[in-house]
Homo-oligomer: A and B are copies of this chain.
Amino acid sequence: MGNVLVQYYSQTGRTAEMAELVAKGAASVPGIEVRLRTIEESTIDDLFWCDGLALGAPTHLGSIPWRVKQWWDEATDDAWMQIDGKFGCAFSSAGGLGGGPEIACLGLLTMLMNYGLLVFGITDYVAPLRTLHYGAALPGRPKTQAEKDICERLGRRLAEWVSFYVDGVEQYHPRHATYPRRG
């Protein structure tokens, strides 16, 4: 039984909305247990518990908000060298299109790479012109169906990798996906 942690920080509620959709997407894969945690309530034990992590934060100055960085900087003593090989992905809500959500996702992934995680983006298009190659990167909150689908797809894919690689369930490899992957 694979475990997925959705850890996020939200000030305005926008990233929280994303996080709930990511968690919903993860829970759509049978056999996956999901924990949804704010950065404030999340513990190192959540990291140890999970097989896959979706980490979300608003885009602040094109990168990781300081409270999220503080959590991870301070986790180094206890968690570094202890969580290599878990699966990781990212999501971010920015103040606007072109305001850096992709770059913030890449920054989150880079931080997770420092912890030895196996990080990924997603090839799928959920609708024409709507994809998530570095994670779910949105301007503002998820408003349209496509934006909601982007968040759910992120969680879904994370759970699929966990199901396939950790639980050994061949059918949840995305090559067997029963949903459209090309928009």
User: Which residues from chain B contact A81 at a C-beta distance below 8 Å?
Assistant: 123, 181-182
Q: Is there an interface contact between A63 and B61, defined as CB atoms closer than 8 Å? A: no
Chain B contacts of A133 at CB under 8 A? 62, 98-100, 113-114
CB distance from A161 to the nearest CB of B (A): 6
The count of identical subunits is: 4
State the interface size on chain A (CB cutoff 8 A).
66
A111 touches B63 (CB 8 A): yes
Whether A96 sits at the interface, judged by CB under 8 Å, is yes
| Across the A-B interface, the 9 shortest Cβ-Cβ residue pairs | A66-B70, A66-B69, A118-B118, A102-B102, A113-B121, A96-B131, A116-B123, A96-B129, A61-B114
